Amino acid sequence: MESSQDAPAHPTGLSSDQAANRLRVDGPNRLPEPDRRNWLRILSGVLREPMLLLLILASTVYLLLGDPQEAAALAASVALVVGLTVYQDYRSESALQALRDLSTPQARVIRDGQARSVPSSELVVGDVILIAEGDRIPADARVLDDGDVMLDESMLTGESMPVQRGAAAVSGPDKDLVHAGTLVVRGHAAAQVTAIGVATAVGRIGEALHTLRSPATPMQREIRYAVLIFAVLGLSVSLLVALWYGWTRGDWLQGVLAGVTLAMANIPEEFPVVLTVFLALGSWRMARHNALIRRSPAIEALGSVTVLCTDKTGTLTANEMSLVELALGSERSEPAALHSPALESLLRCADRACPEHSFDPIDKAIHTAIAGSSAAQAQPGTKPVREYPLSKDLLAVTQVWRIRDEPALEIASKGAPEAIADLCDLAGDERAAVMQLAKEMARRGLRVLAAASAVWTDGRQALPATPRGFRFEWRGLLGFADPLRSGVRDAVAEAKAAGIRVIMLTGDHPDTARTIAAQAGLERPQAAILGTELETLDAATLARRVRDTDVFARVKPEHKLRLIDALKRNNEIVAMTGDGVNDAPALMAAHVGIAMGKRGTDVAREAASIVLLDDNFVTVVRAVRQGRVIYDNILRAVRYILAVHVPITGLALLPLILGAPLMLMPLHIVFLELIIDPASALVFEREPAAADIMRRPPRPPSQRLLDMPTLLGSLGQGAVVLAAVAAVYFIGLGAVMPTEQVAALSFTALIAGNLGLIVVNRGFTLAHWLGRTSKAFWVLVISALGMLFLVTRFEGPGVWFRFAPPPLGLSCLALLMPLAGLGAIELLRRTLGTRRLPRSQPG
Q: pLDDT (tens digit, 9 = 90+) per residue, 126-144?
A: 999 988 877 888 889 888 8
Beta strands in 417-556 (DSSP E): 447-456, 473-481, 501-505, 528-530, 551-553
Q: Please report the pLDDT score of residue 9 as a whole number.
A: 43
What is the C-alpha separation between 756 and 759, in angstroms, rounded?
5
Global pTM value: 0.74
Residue 286 or residue 358, greater confidence: 286
Residue 384 or residue 71, greater confidence: 384
Q: Quickly state the pLDDT bin for 495 (edges 50, 70, 90).
A: very high
The CATH T-level fold of domain 291-318+485-615 is Rossmann fold (3.40.50)
The mean-pLDDT minimum among 99-113, 410-424, 454-468, 507-521 falls in 99-113
What is the C-alpha separation between 108 and 706, in angstroms, rounded?
47
Is the confidence at residue 437, as pLDDT, over 90? yes
Is the confidence at residue 433, as pLDDT, over 50? yes
**Contact in structure between 593 and 608 (CB atoms under 8 Å):** yes
pLDDT in tens, 565-621: 999 999 999 999 988 767 878 888 899 999 887 777 667 777 788 888 888 899 999
Is the confidence at residue 37, as pLDDT, over 60? no
Q: Please report the pLDDT score of residue 317 as a whole number.
A: 85
What value does the mean pLDDT of the chain take? 80
pLDDT in tens, 764-819: 555 555 445 567 888 888 999 999 999 999 988 888 888 999 999 999 999 999 99
What is the C-alpha separation between 518 and 529, in angstroms, rounded?
15
Is residue 575 within a helix (H) or strand (E), and if so which, with residue range? Answer: strand 574-578
Residue 705 or residue 129, greater confidence: 129
CATH 1.20.1110.10 intervals, the chain? 631-832
What is the C-alpha separation between 253 and 61, in angstroms, rounded?
7
Coil/strand/helix, residue 827: helix
What is the C-alpha separation between 156 and 181, in angstroms, rounded?
8
What is the C-alpha separation between 450 and 475, in angstroms, rounded?
7
The mean-pLDDT minimum among 53-62, 568-577, 648-657, 706-715 falls in 53-62
The CATH T-level fold of domain 631-832 is Calcium-transporting ATPase, transmembrane domain (1.20.1110)
Coil/strand/helix, residue 196: coil
- Best-predicted range by mean pLDDT among 151-165, 387-401, 452-466, 724-738? 724-738
Q: Please report the pLDDT score of residue 817 as a whole number.
A: 94
pLDDT in tens, 470-489: 999 999 999 998 888 889 99
Mean pLDDT of 702-725: 88
CB atoms within 10 A of CB 460: 6
Residue 306 or residue 223, greater confidence: 306
Look at the chain and count its residues. 843
**Please, which residues bridge with residue 129 across strands?**
109, 191
Residue 327 or residue 665, greater confidence: 327
**Contact in structure between 308 and 590 (CB atoms under 8 Å):** no
Mean pLDDT of 363-390: 78
Mean pLDDT of 646-663: 85
Q: Please report the pLDDT score of residue 93 as a whole number.
A: 62
- 349-365: string of b/e by CB count within 10 Å (b at 16+)? bbbbbbbbebeebbbbb
What is the C-alpha separation between 819 and 812, in angstroms, rounded?
11
The CATH T-level fold of domain 322-375+395-459+468-478 is Calcium-transporting ATPase, cytoplasmic domain N (3.40.1110)
Q: Which CATH class is domain 16-33+108-206?
A: mainly beta
Is the confidence at residue 436, as pLDDT, over 90? yes
What is the C-alpha separation between 550 and 44, in angstroms, rounded?
54
CATH 3.40.1110.10 intervals, the chain? 322-375+395-459+468-478
